[in-house]
Structures are given as structure tokens and as C-alpha cells.
Amino acid sequence: MSDSDIPFPSSVLEPLDARLADLVALYEDLHRHPELAFQETRTAAEAAHRLTAYGYDVTTGIGGTGVTGVLRNGPGPVVLLRADMDALPVSENSGVPYASTVPGRMHACGHDVHVTCLLGAADLLAAGRDRWSGTLVVLFQPAEEAGNGARAMLDDGLYSKELVPTPDVVLAQHVAPFGAGLIAYCPGACMAAADSLEITFHGTGGHGSRPETTVDPILMASAFVQRVQSVVSREIAAKERAVVTVGAFHAGDTANVIPDRALVRLSVRSFDPNVRTAVLAAVDRIARAEAAASDAPQEPEVKIIDSFPVTVNDTAVLTGVNEDFTRFFGEQRVFAYEPATGSEDAGLLASAAEAPLYYWWLGGWDPDEFRAALAAGRLAQDIPSNHSPRFVPVARPTLATGVQALTVAALSRLGGK
């Protein structure tokens, strides 16, 4: 492929092969040492160290552990590339030789891939700065899983204090459980809004042998868990998208004591604001109704503990970048995908700057295993999803494709020389 074949200098990507071994080692190291939201000190230090070596102006500690690198390279657009850094409270069960060394912690959503790919792209773009003009911002964000990492960086003056110049476009990617080497995109609303709720049901505790003297909050909360599953199936039109998932239930400490409270945490996903309002209202109504049915001594406490907005891709940017993706990767490796009910906060970085966003998916699973599962109709059974204790993307060709995608996308938006 020559420079005349594509609208950006392919020579920027030529050093990638020589850098891949280092990137694989970095990925495996990050995977061994996962850090939870706002605790990503080791990961942030590695990013800052490498960015400094590449020649970026580096700022650390933004919003807690956030890191930015800025490379000013003459007149032209300001392009921001973003990666999230945090891991999950998941015990790994992958069997890979570089599995997590931290009990109960794992990069189960591929953020170690994201950090590695962005550092790889930052290196190539810095080394090839004679082929583009403009300003490149690379941003390593904390606490995406908690839903408030991007907001923390913005609240800490990411743009208002001019820690970084306000971007003209924000670009990001996320590794997903389909064949490595593939790129997927979704026009418009591509990821759902998400609300995490915590509901505390109050009862009256007592001896397990005398339930008639108590108001059992476990029975109350269990009835809620059953009933709340009817919200999507019976209150939301089939043409709409919504998900309600109960992910945590905590009550009591021993077998023969009825506790005085039970705590439930659940996640609500939606794409339409009216659907979101309806689902949240139904969840609140059902919680209060079950408490009343049990003659609870007080109403349940219902509170939203975090929220993600709908992630919306800009049509013009998506179309322009995809033209370059298709030229570089070929039509067979770039395909449209349905909106995902997962959620993201990268869109906040774009909306705060009044800039367009393009967010795409990067295949991360072994291509042969993926094709076999697809042919057998067993994708859900055989290919672990994000947040699974078995979700560990393969290093090759995932990392190369991820570095290439970020680099191609950045060059598509930056000015040429």
C-alpha cells in the first residue's frame, strides 16, 4: 500500500511491526496488575513515563489518576484519542500465563488493551509527526466502570484550566468479543444510557424461629427482584430497547436471624429518555409497593448511584473515518453493528467540548474460535463476553489492529503535510 492509495501517510504505520513485541509485553504486564476505579496509579505512571519519552507535554493526576499527553505540531485540528484504564472486581478464570496477580481483580473488560493500543498509536504518531499537522491529545481516563471518570476529569478543569486544548473531535474504541482483526461501527446512538440504583428495604429483625414477630426484608426484596423483571416485558413496547438487571443482593449474616434490612443493586439500560423515565419510575413504584405489601416499618430508600449518558456517534465523522478504515483494512474487516446495551462515559468528553464523537468496536477474540462458534450458533455459550472472568483478548492481531485503527482515525482528522 502506497501513500497514493490512501489519504494519509501510510509510512506513519511502518514502524509498528518492530514495536509489537514491546506492546505485547506491556499488555501482559497491565493484565497482571489490574487496578480499580480511581486506583490506577501504576497504569497512569506507565502511561505518563512513555508519553514523556515520546515527546508529549504530560499532565498527571487529573480527576484523581487521569493522564493527558499533548503534542502540538503546527496549525490544524485538535484531535483527542481516549482510553480508559480501570479494571473490575472480578476473580480471573482464564488460564492465561499472564493472568491477574491481584486476588479479586481483573481486566475483564479489556481496558489493558485500550491503554496499550493508545500508547502504541501515540508512539507512532509522535515518530511520524513530519507527516501531519495539528494538535494531538491522548487521554488516559480513570473510572469508566464506575461511570464517573470522565466527569471527574472535566470537573478538575480538563478544558477550563486549559490542561489540554479543547478538541475538535473525540475518538475512542472498545475491544469486544468478536474476531480479532475486525472493526465494527454503529451510526447514531451506539451505546445505551445506564443508571445504577441502590435500594434498601427496611424490615424488623428477629429470631429465625419466630418470623411472625418480624417484617422480613429478605422476602420483601426477593419479591421485588422477581416483580421488577416484568418492567421490560410488560411495560415497555417491544420496539423499544431496555434492560433491567439485578446484580447484587445483600442481607443478613447468619442462618437463624432475620435481619432488619436488605440491599439490592440493579442496572437500568435504555436509549430513549422517555423509556428511561418510565423504567426508573416503575422500579421505584414496585419497590415501594412490595414494601407496603409487607407492611414495612418505613419506605425503601431508592437512590441512583451512577449514570452514563447515551453514546452517540457523529454521522459525518463516522463516515469520513470509515472511508479510511475501509481503504486501510479492506471492506471485509469493517462492518456495521447493532447498538449495544453496554454503556460508556467517553461521550462526556465530546459533549463538554461541543465536539463530535466517533466510538467504534475492536475485535479481540481468537478469529478461528470465533468463526467456529458463529458457524455452530454458539456465540453466547462459547465466546466469553466483557466482564466475564474468562474475557482475555488475544494479543495478536488485536493490538496491531487497535493501534492501526487509532492511528488511521487520528490521521483522518488531522491535517496533512
With beta carbons less than 8 A apart as the criterion, state whether 109 and 388 touch.
no
Rounded Cα distance, 101 and 31, in Å: 9
With beta carbons less than 8 A apart as the criterion, state whether 89 and 36 touch.
yes
Pick from 213, 300, 299, 214: nearest CA to 252: 214
Rounded Cα distance, 289 and 294, in Å: 9
Cis peptide bond prior to 397, omega within 30° of 0: yes
Residue 202 CA, distance from chain mean position? 34
DSSP string, 217-278: HHHHHHHHHHHHTHHHHHHS-TTS-EEEEEEEEEE-SSTTEE-SEEEEEEEEEESSHHHHHH
Q: Binding site for Mn(2+): which residues?
A: 109, 111, 145, 174, 387
DSSP string, 312-371: EE-HHHHHHHHHHHHHHH-GGGEEE-PPBS---SHHHHHHHHT--EEEEEEEEE-HHHHH
Rounded Cα distance, 248 and 56, in Å: 42
Rounded Cα distance, 194 and 270, in Å: 7
Helix (H) or strand (E) holding 117: helix 111-127
Cα–Cα–Cα angle for 135, 137, 141, rounded to 5 degrees: 170
With beta carbons less than 8 A apart as the criterion, state whether 373 and 382 touch.
yes
Q: Binding site: which residues?
A: 109, 111, 145, 174, 387
Helix (H) or strand (E) holding 169: strand 169-179
With beta carbons less than 8 A apart as the criterion, state whether 61 and 80 touch.
no
